[in-house]
């Protein structure tokens, strides 16, 4: 009963916006002023989203059931200078009004203002939708906005109102049916938005592909959109701009698509698909979201974007799949189990892969895609055993010898006689990789090493295992035998005897190493680390250690370069009976640092280096 009391007394609650929201409002209103007509696109998109959500929720909860023919209504009132956007959607209760309209986008504000500064004026209108700040664009044209909303399944309505100046109020309201009215009290200079033909023009331009009817006017209605589901049109009737506009809508993007795939599948399962590969890495969509958001429609009706139509490792693909072969009331459980849907998933995935495969033939064109989404595609090697062989040819790498990007096939073409493995090195820092001592001996022998620095690179090589019968081999894993490849220049000379040095190092380093051995894979560096035997690759061990799971891994092997002056000096010192324990520790730490790791004891390491440097200083006479 307290609810109705509240209604009758008309309690007003005042709430402050977060400080960030105030700034955001300012940004939206000022940066986008010249494109203010897009406020209508944003409000209509929200209305259509809310209607879609109600339809989907009603499938499993009859209390939320939809009116017979839901629509979005845009009603101008010249006398009152208001414009109202009304929908039959899910509506918002008190909580949603406070949360969704009062505190949005705090975390996105910084990214939003940065993108705004970087975007050209032509790109700006599309940023709004991308960052989920669409509702706020209403304040470009209105100096007061009221939202009257009733959540489906409840009979309580609330009015949210704000002047966009840092606070909003919540008052109990009334609404006969569930849904939402957004009432804009237009600014004096925004009266153009009371003209029905102007409104229709805006809707045709920005929201024509919305399937839900959008009508303009109160008593005398006029159709806003043509409601043509773009994907159902024949390809010949859609031009590049038409595709691009739709892409921006479904992908929340503001660039041009890198690839547009539009086809109709006939046969056991029939469907139409219109999919896009973005031309830019979308904000948060690659790192943040984990699941594919391709929209599923049944007979044009939007059903859900959670049907997992594409695997996670193709989650950057945006678009629509529309089929007649599912019932309109397909439920969440059915989404998992329906054979028709798994056939669609398979077909759609195959089609995207073959498109990538053919675009990969044009190296210059493909690089743009690979730099944006390569790391995501690599996840497929881990998650999707059945598709591994199809993914491998799509991979591109930096390499120790080739300029730019290289494929595995190109690597195979450059392999040395007698080479039967594909060598790779993984590290965090792409710049350090090329100079890494790990690569020296390979370079001296003209052996190419693939240089991997994406986070996912530590994980997939073990899953792929080989390419065209050639094993993938981490050069930090175990001992790579380079003796059968002729080296050029000084590395070709036989290494000098190290005498007792190896034993002395082993004794001094104890359990910090599992072995010390001479190596031919170094040219300019004195030492390098390798993992012991066939344990995990060194980078993998580092990741495990950082995750607190490094225990149990074998200590690394220290490999020493007998041709290096430092190593030779140490060998002589051991011969003459000197203790080289301190130097041994420093050598091991140097090897760790070269791989981007830290010294075991940074303070002790710094002291040793300092005293070694001091010893070199000629004493004052």
Phi and psi at 553, nearest 5°, equal -70, 145
Query: Smallest distance from the beta carbon of 185 to Mg ion, in angstroms?
Result: 20
Using the minimum distance from each CB to Mg ion, give the nearer residue, 84 or 137: 137
Counting contacts by CB under 6 A, is residue 101 touching ligand ADP? Answer: yes
Q: What is the DSSP letter of 202?
A: H
Q: From Mg ion, ligand ADP, none, which one binds at residue 92 (CB under 5 to 8 Å depending on kind)?
A: ligand ADP
Phi and psi at 148, nearest 5°, equal -105, 120
Using the minimum distance from each CB to ligand ADP, give the nearer residue, 151 or 563: 151
Query: Smallest distance from the beta carbon of 249 to ligand ADP, in angstroms?
Result: 12
Stretch that binds ligand ADP, among 129-137, 212-220, 409-417, 592-600 (CB under 6 A): 129-137
Phi and psi at 23, nearest 5°, equal -65, -40
Using the minimum distance from each CB to ligand ADP, give the nearer residue, 132 or 393: 132
Using the minimum distance from each CB to Mg ion, give the nearer residue, 132 or 242: 132
Q: From ligand ADP, Mg ion, none, which one binds at residue 221 (CB under 5 to 8 Å depending on kind)?
A: none
Q: How many CA atoms lie within 13 A of 592 on its CB side?
A: 19
- With CB under 6 A as the contact rule, the residue among 25, 27, 50, 444 that binds ligand ADP is 50
Counting contacts by CB under 5 A, is residue 279 touching Mg ion? Answer: no
Q: How many CA atoms lie within 13 A of 423 on its CB side?
A: 26
DSSP sequence for 525-579: -SEEEEBSTTS--HHHHHHHHHTT--TTPPPPEEEE-TTSHHHHHHHHHHHTT--
3-state secondary structure of 56: helix
- With CB under 6 A as the contact rule, the residue among 23, 57, 66, 132 that binds ligand ADP is 132
Of 421, 415, 396, 414, residue with least CA distance to 406: 396
Query: Smallest distance from the beta carbon of 45 to Mg ion, in angstroms?
Result: 5
Stretch that binds ligand ADP, among 82-90, 236-244, 415-423, 566-574 (CB under 6 A): 82-90
User: Between residue 40 and residue 69, which ones bind Mg ion under the rule CB under 5 A?
Assistant: 46
Using the minimum distance from each CB to ligand ADP, give the nearer residue, 73 or 542: 73
SS3 content of the chain, % helix, strand, coil (to 5): 45, 20, 35
Counting contacts by CB under 5 A, is residue 561 touching Mg ion? Answer: no
Taking the C-alpha atoms of residue 486 and residue 193, their distance in angstroms, rounded to an integer, is 78
What binding mask, one character per residue, do residues 7-46 give for Mg ion by CB under 5 A, x or -? ---------------------------------------x
Query: How many residues of this chain bind ligand ADP (CB under 6 A)?
Result: 17
Taking the C-alpha atoms of residue 362 and residue 311, their distance in angstroms, rounded to an integer, is 25
Q: From Mg ion, ligand ADP, none, which one binds at residue 410 (CB under 5 to 8 Å depending on kind)?
A: none
Taking the C-alpha atoms of residue 104 and residue 100, their distance in angstroms, rounded to an integer, is 6
Query: Smallest distance from the beta carbon of 60 to ligand ADP, in angstroms?
Result: 19
Give the torsion through C-alpha atoms of 450, 454, 457, 459, to 10 deg.
170
Task: Give all strands of the β-sheet with 470-474 in edge-to-edge order.
Answer: 398-399, 449-452, 421-426, 470-474, 466-467
Using the minimum distance from each CB to Mg ion, give the nearer residue, 39 or 243: 39
Q: What is the DSSP letter of 92?
A: -
Counting contacts by CB under 6 A, is residue 93 touching ligand ADP? Answer: no
User: Between residue 103 and residue 142, which ones bind Mg ion under the rule CB under 5 A?
Assistant: 134
User: Between residue 156 and residue 185, which ones bind Mg ion under the rule CB under 5 A?
Assistant: none
Counting contacts by CB under 6 A, is residue 594 touching ligand ADP? Answer: no
Using the minimum distance from each CB to Mg ion, give the nearer residue, 134 or 380: 134
Query: Smallest distance from the beta carbon of 54 to Mg ion, in angstroms?
Result: 16
Query: Smallest distance from the beta carbon of 137 to Mg ion, in angstroms?
Result: 9
Using the minimum distance from each CB to ligand ADP, give the nearer residue, 136 or 276: 136
Query: Smallest distance from the beta carbon of 79 to Mg ion, in angstroms?
Result: 29
User: Between residue 167 and residue 226, which ones bind ligand ADP under the rule CB under 6 A?
Assistant: 180
Q: HEC string of 97-142?
A: HHHHHHCCCCCCHHHHHHHHHHCCCCCHHHHHHHCCCHHHHHHHCE
For residue 225, with 0-12 CB atoms within 10 Å meaning exposed, 13-18 middle and 19 or more buried, which class applies?
A: buried
Comparing every residue's Cβ against ligand ADP, the nearest one is 134
3-state secondary structure of 267: coil
- With CB under 6 A as the contact rule, the residue among 135, 168, 302, 373 that binds ligand ADP is 135
Q: From ligand ADP, Mg ion, none, which one binds at residue 50 (CB under 5 to 8 Å depending on kind)?
A: ligand ADP
Q: HEC string of 351-382?
A: HHHHHHHHHCCCHHHHHHHHHHHHHHHHHHHH
Query: Smallest distance from the beta carbon of 101 to ligand ADP, in angstroms?
Result: 6
Binding site for Mg ion (CB under 5 A): 46, 134
Binding site for ligand ADP (CB under 6 A): 42, 46-47, 50, 87, 89-92, 100-101, 104, 132-135, 180
């Amino acid at each position: 009963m307290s609810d109705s009391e509240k209604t009758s007394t008309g309690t007003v609650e005042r709430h402050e916006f977060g400080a960030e929201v105030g700034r955001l409002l300012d940004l939206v209103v000022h940066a986008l002023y010249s494109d203010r007509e897009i406020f209508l696109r944003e409000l209509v998109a929200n209305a259509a989203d809310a209607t879609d959500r109600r339809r989907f929720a009603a499938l499993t909860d009859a209390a939320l059931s939809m009116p017979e023919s839901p629509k979005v209504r845009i009603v101008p009132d010249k006398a009152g200078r208001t414009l109202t956007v009304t929908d039959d959607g899910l509506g918002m209760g008190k909580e949603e009004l406070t949360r969704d309209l009062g505190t949005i986008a705090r975390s996105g504000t910084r990214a939003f203002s940065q993108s705004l500064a970087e975007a050209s004026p032509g790109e700006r209108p599309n940023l709004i939708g991308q960052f989920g700040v669409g509702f706020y664009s209403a304040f470009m044209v209105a100096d007061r906005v009221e939202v009257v909303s009733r959540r489906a399944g409840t009979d309580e309505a609330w009015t949210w109102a704000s002047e966009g100046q840092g606070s909003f109020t919540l008052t109990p309201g009334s609404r006969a049916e569930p849904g939402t009215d957004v009432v804009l009290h237009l600014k004096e200079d925004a009266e153009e938005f009371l003209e029905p033909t102007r409104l229709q023009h805006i809707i045709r331009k920005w929201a024509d592909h919305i399937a839900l009817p959008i009508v303009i006017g109160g008593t005398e209605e006029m159709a806003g959109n043509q409601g043509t589901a773009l994907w159902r049109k024949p390809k010949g009737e859609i031009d590049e701009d038409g595709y691009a506009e739709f892409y921006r809508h479904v992908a929340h993007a503001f660039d041009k698509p890198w690839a547009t795939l539009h086809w109709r599948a006939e046969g056991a399962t029939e469907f139409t698909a219109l999919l896009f590969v973005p031309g830019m890495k979308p904000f948060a969509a690659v790192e943040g979201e984990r699941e594919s958001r391709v929209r599923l429609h049944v007979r044009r009706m939007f059903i859900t974007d959670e049907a997992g139509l594409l695997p996670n490792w193709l989650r950057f693909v945006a678009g629509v799949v529309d089929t007649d072969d599912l019932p309109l009331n397909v439920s969440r459980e059915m989404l998992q189990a329906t054979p028709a849907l798994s056939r669609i998933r398979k077909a759609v995935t195959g089609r995207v892969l073959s498109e990538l495969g053919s675009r990969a033939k044009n190296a210059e064109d493909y690089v743009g895609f690979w730099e944006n989404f390569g790391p995501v595609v690599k996840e497929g090697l881990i998650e999707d055993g059945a598709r591994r062989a199809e993914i491998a040819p799509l991979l591109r790498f930096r390499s120790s010898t080739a300029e730019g990007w290289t494929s595995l096939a190109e690597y195979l073409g450059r392999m040395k006689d007698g080479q039967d493995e594909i060598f790779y090195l993984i590290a965090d820092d792409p710049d350090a990789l090329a100079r890494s001592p790990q690569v020296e001996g390979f370079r001296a022998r003209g052996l190419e090493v693939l240089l991997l620095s994406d986070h996912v690179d530590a994980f997939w090589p073990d899953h792929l295992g080989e390419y065209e019968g050639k094993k993938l081999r981490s050069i930090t894993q175990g001992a790579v035998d380079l003796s059968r490849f002729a080296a050029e220049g000084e590395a070709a000379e036989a290494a000098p005897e190290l005498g007792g040095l190896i034993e002395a190092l082993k004794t001094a380093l104890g359990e910090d190493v599992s072995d010390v051995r001479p190596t031919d894979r170094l040219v300019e560096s004195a030492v390098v680390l390798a993992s012991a035997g066939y344990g995990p690759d060194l980078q993998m061990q580092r990741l495990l250690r950082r995750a607190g799971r490094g225990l149990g891994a074998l200590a690394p092997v220290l490999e020493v370069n007998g041709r290096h002056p430092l190593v030779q000096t140490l060998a002589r010192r051991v011969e003459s009976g000197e203790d080289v324990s301190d130097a041994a520790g420093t050598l091991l730490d140097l090897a760790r640092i070269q791989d981007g790791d830290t010294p075991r004891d940074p303070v002790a390491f710094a002291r040793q280096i300092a005293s070694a440097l001091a010893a070199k200083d000629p004493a004052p006479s």
